[in-house]
Amino acid sequence: MTHHPEIFFTRFERFWHWGQALLILLLIVTGFHVTGLLEWLDYEFSARWHRIIALILIFLWSFTIFWHLITGEWRQYLPTSEKMLEVFHYYSKGIFDPSLVHPFKKTKRRKHNPLQRIAYLVLNVFIGPVLLITGFLFAEYKRWHFVGIPSDWLATVAGLHTAMAYAMVCFFLLHVYMAFTGNPVMAAVKAMITGRVEVDDFVLDTQREYKLLVVEDDPIIALMIQGWLDGKEVREGESILPVRFSVTHVENLLNAQKVLDTDGFDLILLDLSLPDSEGMDTFRSVKNNAEDVPILVINETEDEELQSRVVHEGAQDFLVKKNLSRRILLRAFRFALERHWFSRMQ
């Protein structure tokens, strides 16, 4: 498989990443001196610079939050269960097997795997804010009486600040360790310096098994599709098409949402007319539950207005039931996978 470099990380992202790393490292060092774990530096010097560095980090975080909001990059940190178990297994066992590859493929729209998203969410929503709040309270202890904060809360505030500081140290060390577990070893570090990530050129693997979710309330249509996809042989003219599928069939939107919450799929074949949902509402509901899965819509009639709307909102194709055949379906699957891959690279 061939590769080519893609710009994944902007200049600001790289500046923010390395700037934050340096500031956190300085906070760890000065914090250890303030608490007496290290004695290389004077206490007053360490305490003064600990506060100054914390203020600089607050300013950097504030600007970074603003940048994420206006660029939409905050979506990179939304938690997801997609391939969660596969990634967990890779990091717990597979990372020591050189023959295995990482189950999560980075794209510009998905830079972080499920475990990274959870770790960053905990860091940004819990550890970071608690550190800042308790650090500010600790620094302003002499002014607590002005706002009515009991002085006997000092031990609790100091304990929380210390606990979050150790949590930050653990996160920092784990982050450094994980940065050198790539293949090649320096790939992740190099990416955060240059902004470029080596990505695989698209090559459809016709030998692997693709997971397909069929959302269709007509059991006859579902059985027909299942029958088409049960064959393992490559027929004449189909050598470039995916031919191995693991099919999951559900008959309504509620069950579709349940399986999407617990399992990952390569493709979704969706009938817009279901017992519990109809038309664009069906598509939007499934799309919200599977933002990074290509969806092909099937419908009873060739409604051009409906076709235009679903394609405009992200459907990969619009198929009419009466025109379906094995070959048409397989071609639609292939083109959906290709278009989806290229869209993720944008």
Q: Residues 295, 176: one domain?
A: no
Q: Residues 143, 224: one domain?
A: no
Q: Whole-angstrom Cα distance, residue 86 to residue 134?
A: 37
Q: Residues 187, 258: one domain?
A: no
Residues of the chain above pLDDT 90, percent:
23
3-state secondary structure of 74: helix
Q: Residues 90, 218: one domain?
A: no
What's the chain's average pLDDT? 83
Q: Residues 13, 90: one domain?
A: yes
Mean pLDDT over 19-30 rounds to 94
Whether pLDDT at 116 is above 60? yes
| 205 within domain boundaries | no
Whether pLDDT at 17 is above 90? yes
Counting the structural domains of the chain, the total is: 2
Residue 234 — very low, low, confident or very high, per pLDDT cuts 50/70/90? very low
Q: Residues 21, 161: one domain?
A: yes
Whether pLDDT at 198 is above 80? no
| 202 within domain boundaries | no
pLDDT digits (tens, 9 = 90+) for 142-166: 888 888 888 888 899 989 999 999 9
Q: Residues 84, 219: one domain?
A: no
| 158 within domain boundaries | yes
pLDDT digits (tens, 9 = 90+) for 279-312: 888 888 888 877 778 888 888 877 788 878 888 8
Q: Residues 181, 223: one domain?
A: no
Strand partners, 299: 320
Q: Residues 184, 219: one domain?
A: no
Residue 207 — very low, low, confident or very high, per pLDDT cuts 50/70/90? low
Mean pLDDT over 222-246 rounds to 68
| 145 within domain boundaries | yes
Mean pLDDT over 197-209 rounds to 65
With 0.85 as the threshold, say if the pTM is over it.
no
Whether pLDDT at 100 is above 80? no
Q: Whole-angstrom Cα distance, residue 182 to residue 173?
A: 16
Q: Residues 264, 166: one domain?
A: no
CATH of the domain at 136: 1.20.950.20
Whether pLDDT at 345 is above 60? no
Torsion, Cα of 118, 122, 125, 131 (10° steps): -160
Q: Whole-angstrom Cα distance, residue 252 to residue 276?
A: 6
Q: Residues 37, 174: one domain?
A: yes
CATH of the domain at 332: 3.40.50.2300
Task: State the first-to-last Cα distance of the chain, in angstroms, to the nearest integer.
Answer: 20
Last residue of a domain, one of 197, 226, 245: 197
Which range marks the domain in which residue 82 is found?
Answer: 3-197
| 203 within domain boundaries | no
| 204 within domain boundaries | no
Mean pLDDT over 1-24 rounds to 84
Residues, the chain, total?
A: 346
| 79 within domain boundaries | yes
Residue 27 — very low, low, confident or very high, per pLDDT cuts 50/70/90? very high
Q: How many CA atoms lie within 13 A of 210 on its CB side?
A: 26
Last residue of a domain, one of 197, 222, 247: 197
Last residue of a domain, one of 157, 175, 197: 197
| 176 within domain boundaries | yes
Q: Residues 224, 157: one domain?
A: no
Buried b (16+ CB within 10 A) or exposed e, 135-156: bebbeeeeeeeeeeeeeeeeee
Q: Whole-angstrom Cα distance, residue 74 to residue 66?
A: 10
